[in-house]
Structure 1
Amino acid sequence: MSPTANSPRYSRILGTGSHLPADRVTNQALVDRLAVEGIETSDDWIVERTGIRARYFAAPDQTASDLAFPAAQAALAAAGISAEELDLIIVATSTPDMVFPSTACLLQQKLGVHGCAAFDLQAVCSGFVYALSVADSMIKAGAANKALIVGAEVFSRILDFKDRTTCVLFGDGAGAVVLGASAEPGILATELHADARHVDILCTPGAVSGGQVIGTPLLRMDGQAVFKLAVGVLEKVARSVLEKAGKTEADVDWLIPHQANIRIMQGTAKKLKLDLNKLIVTVDEHGNTSAASVPLALDAAVRSGRVQRGDTVMLEGVGGGFTWGAALLNY
């Protein structure tokens, strides 16, 4: 129901969508690829430590906006609106098509529309939750009525395939939601954080200068440090968002955390005293798709019939920066 001039103004998710590239890469296929480079690992080693069994890699000529486009189309179709009705497009990505213009502007071009605000948001794996919070605030303030929020990544481009501790973790994909103004609460509460004291534990410290890449354009991660920080901050921000919304853990029907590592995800659920059956898991098939992981998992849960209208859903992200955040919503 749309808000009237005198009614409170909220935002609700109107539709979801997602897209994965065609190349599904199993653990064994990746193990065989690494063996050529003299790097030893195994399917058992990857599954035991991460829960990942496969991931998808974009084709060499596919960009983040190429993956975002069909995800956006699916979300628009689910919402029952046309791209022309959008007045805001936000793309959360750490792997943009180019230095500029933004991937959001390139997506706007692919959608065949013009005029609405479009920009990228960079918070790495927390990017989608950050973008959702920004769009929610803009809709509540009356600066937008219908927003398209996309998480899209081609992380395969920045992986070091000589580092088995990182290259087995990540994949490519895109997820999207359409957010619309409503007289009924949808996004109940959000909260965002960053702590740059930990900037070095997960980063891709490269840049372009004078037509050359300077620094290291490949992903680096201190896995143990990330694990320790992630579980703690995800529990804390979830409890804070619940308190803001006047809810408790018992009110949560589904937890959809950033799909990075099954142990982090299960650890967060246990700290929140949630039944693991309430945990949405796609990391086994998608790997870590950074800003795309939460909307990919949300769309999978919606389309499988698990998440239904009226359910209370907790979304959480954590990533390089060090950034983290959560959003509680009435789907």
Structure 2
Amino acid sequence: MKLLEPRLGIQVLGHGRSLPGTRAVSNAELLARDSEQHGRSAKTLEALGRKLQARLGFGQRHLARLPGALPGEAPPAPGDEETSESLALTATRRALGERGGADIEALIHGTTTTSRYTGSQAAAILGRLGGHASAYELKAGCSTSLASLHLAMSLLGSGYDNVMVSCAETLSKVMNPALKETWFILADGGAALWLRRESTSPDFEVRQCLYATDGTLVDLYTTPGRLPPDRSVLEQGGYAMTGDGTRLREEALRRYLEMLRAMFPGGRGLERVRWVVAHQINRKLIERVCAEGGLDARLVWSADRVGNIGGASVLFSLSEALEQGLFAPGDSVLLMSVGGGLSFAMQHWVKQ
């Protein structure tokens, strides 16, 4: 894997987040939509929901499409659901604030759940913003946030003045009906970060960047159906998430530790890391990574409130941390993720 050391000063011009729906959906509400749970009391469903939260770490989430159905519930009207594109557009507009899309020099959009078979959501988002810039679209599983930031740093380092990075997912649309656990893990949302190259008074210095892929594991966790869509494959569940979760967790632990060794040889500099912003799927796994890797840092965690929004999760959590002012001058911040592909990424930022 290639370790880059850009030592790039960046200013955060703006950031934003978006979630579908008007409220979060609890574990008990999802259980009530499972035909196997129909007829159980609300009290029983609440108790089961608490057990699921203790085991999986997720208590609520926002969903563009609800799985299952309540007894007698009519199916939703077509076209009423939010898409990854609409969520990214909302987040990007919030990152822009009062400024317009014409001020964006490059837009990088990351998603694994695109609503466009041809053309790109990146181009559509830029067009809706009124921009005429470079538009890129990336897909790197749950490492999509950091893959997008990796490209952003390359563009900023090569001469672009500013780059808008947006990531959004609607994982509710690829939930597997046969794997009920995915109902409680997967979620939807979007985030955007507008960055500018700044050498005089930067908000952060980006010290190191790492992004790599082991393509031999591309089918470890995926939607196996091929495009263009085929009705028979759809009816057989071929476009729903499936894979070997146990193997994925084992690989994730190994790759996280490999990246730590590559970025901090012999553990040198690890003691200065104060914050970890990781992919939001398994807090116990990240805590194990920190323990085995020698990291004594605080975790930025949002998954207990918004679920696992896949490739957008790191960007979403980073935006929340920036809004809350968590990072103090001198703090080292480690961003890291492992996702489908098998993709893995890490970045080391220092607050100025």
Question: Which bin holds the TM-score, normalised by the shorter protein?
Answer: 0.7 to 0.9
Contact 1:171 1:288 in 2 (8 A): yes
Instruction: Verify: 1:28 aligned to 2:50, yes or no.
Output: no
Residues 7-58 of structure 1, C-alpha deviations (whole Å, 9 max, x = no match): x9835141322111124111111111124577x9932442233211111102
The 1:122–1:224 alpha-carbon spacing in structure 2 relative to 1, beyond 3 Å, is: same
Q: Percent identity?
A: 25
Where has structure 1 moved over 4 Å in runs of 4 or more? Answer: 210-215
In the alignment, which residue of structure 1 is the partner of 2:94? 74
Contact 1:34 1:162 in 2 (8 A): no
In the alignment, which residue of structure 1 is the partner of 2:243? 221
Partner AA of 1:204 in structure 2: T
Instruction: Verify: 1:318 aligned to 2:344, yes or no.
Output: no
Once the two structures are overlaid, the 10-residue window that deviates more, 283-292 or 20-29, is 20-29
Contact 1:208 1:214 in 2 (8 A): no
Which runs of no fewer than 5 residues in structure 2 stay unpaired? 1-5, 66-79
In the alignment, which residue of structure 2 is the partner of 1:255? 276
In the alignment, which residue of structure 2 is the partner of 1:4? none
In the alignment, which residue of structure 2 is the partner of 1:12? 10
Task: State the superposition RMSD in angstroms.
Answer: 2.5
Q: 1:202 aligns with which of 181, 203, 221?
A: 221
Instruction: Verify: 1:122 aligned to 2:139, yes or no.
Output: yes
In the alignment, which residue of structure 1 is the partner of 2:176? 160
Q: 2:189 aligns with which of 173, 177, 202?
A: 173
Q: TM-score, length-normalised on structure 1?
A: 0.87
- SS of 1:208's partner is coil
Contact 2:142 2:338 in 1 (8 A): yes
Q: TM-score, length-normalised on structure 2?
A: 0.82
Residues 281-323 of structure 1, C-alpha deviations (whole Å, 9 max, x = no match): 1110111111110011111112122134553211111111111
Q: Within 2, Cα distance between the matches of 1:194 and 1:55?
A: 29
Task: Return the offset for 1:214.
Answer: 4.2
Task: Return the offset for 1:105.
Answer: 0.9
- SS of 2:218's partner is helix
Q: Within 2, Cα distance between the matches of 1:108 and 1:217?
A: 28
The 1:94–1:148 alpha-carbon spacing in structure 2 relative to 1, beyond 3 Å, is: same
Partner AA of 1:16 in structure 2: H
Instruction: Verify: 1:182 aligned to 2:201, yes or no.
Output: no
Task: Return the offset for 1:170.
Answer: 0.5
Q: Within 2, Cα distance between the matches of 1:285 and 1:187?
A: 29
Structure whose alpha-carbon radius of gyration is higher: 2
Q: Within 1, Cα distance between the matches of 2:243 and 2:318?
A: 26
Q: Within 1, Cα distance between the matches of 2:215 and 2:329?
A: 37
Q: 1:236 aligns with which of 255, 258, 265?
A: 258
The 1:227–1:180 alpha-carbon spacing in structure 2 relative to 1, beyond 3 Å, is: same
Q: Within 1, Cα distance between the matches of 2:163 and 2:268?
A: 26
In the alignment, which residue of structure 2 is the partner of 1:57? 63
Residues 244-291 of structure 1, C-alpha deviations (whole Å, 9 max, x = no match): 9x9611111210000011211211222233346x11111101111111
Once the two structures are overlaid, the 10-residue window that deviates more, 161-170 or 63-72, is 161-170
Q: Within 1, Cα distance between the matches of 2:83 and 2:173?
A: 10
Q: 1:102 aligns with which of 98, 111, 120?
A: 120
Contact 1:34 1:161 in 2 (8 A): no
Partner AA of 2:239 in structure 1: P
In the alignment, which residue of structure 2 is the partner of 1:87? 105
Which runs of no fewer than 5 residues in structure 1 stay unpaired? 1-7
Contact 1:231 1:268 in 2 (8 A): yes
The 1:329–1:32 alpha-carbon spacing in structure 2 relative to 1, beyond 3 Å, is: same
Q: Within 1, Cα distance between the matches of 2:51 and 2:217?
A: 27
The 1:218–1:235 alpha-carbon spacing in structure 2 relative to 1, beyond 3 Å, is: same
The 1:148–1:309 alpha-carbon spacing in structure 2 relative to 1, beyond 3 Å, is: farther
Residues 162-192 of structure 1, C-alpha deviations (whole Å, 9 max, x = no match): 3123232100000111121122662211111
How many residues were matched structurally?
Answer: 317
